[in-house]
Structure formats: structure tokens, C-alpha cells
Amino acid sequence: MMNDNEVINTLEELEAFVLAVESGGMGLNNVAGLALATNNSNGRPFVAVLDDNQQLLLGRWVSSDVFENGKDIVRYGPRKH
């Protein structure tokens, strides 16, 4: 489920998205993980919310800056402030 109008442009937006997913605020069931990936057809980067079968539950496009610099946020979770 990708919405072309929703793009995560900053690391702060990525952190908020990850927190919303982790807290159950997105209303998704069976969430097993998050990953940064690229679309096979056009190479566009996105963050994927995956279930335990590695199937896409939800995706959000990300800017190339977020794709390059947000890997630790996706891998380890948002920074503790």
C-alpha cells in the first residue's frame, strides 16, 4: 500500500513514522519489521513495513537523503532524545 502523495523528506519525519508503526498507531496487524528498499520498476526509495512473511503491509516513499541517512533509524529505532 503506497500513496504517491506521502513522501518522508526528513529524518525527523522518518522517526515519527517509525514511532507510529512501533506504537500501533497505524492500525496494522502482524507487523514484524521495517526496511528501507527501492522499487524494482523505477528505483524509487521507500520505507517498508513488513509482516512475518516479509510481505509489504505499508510503504512510504522517502527522499534520497532519508534513504541514505535513515538506515540506523530503521535498523535500531529512533534516537533517544
Residue 2, pLDDT score: 76
> pTM (2 decimals)?
0.89
Answer whether residue 23 is part of any domain.
yes
69 and 12 in contact (C-beta within 8 Å)? no
- Domain with 29, as residue range(s), is 2-76
Strands 2-8 vs 45-51: parallel, antiparallel or unpaired:
unpaired
What is the Cα–Cα distance from 27 to 9, expressed in whole angstroms? 23
66 and 23 in contact (C-beta within 8 Å)? no
The number of folded domains in the chain is 1
Answer whether residue 28 is part of any domain.
yes
Residue 68, pLDDT score: 97
pLDDT along the chain (81 residues), means of 10: 84 96 90 95 95 94 98 89 55
Residue 19, pLDDT score: 94
Residue 80, pLDDT score: 65
Answer whether residue 24 is part of any domain.
yes
Residue found under cell 535513515: 70
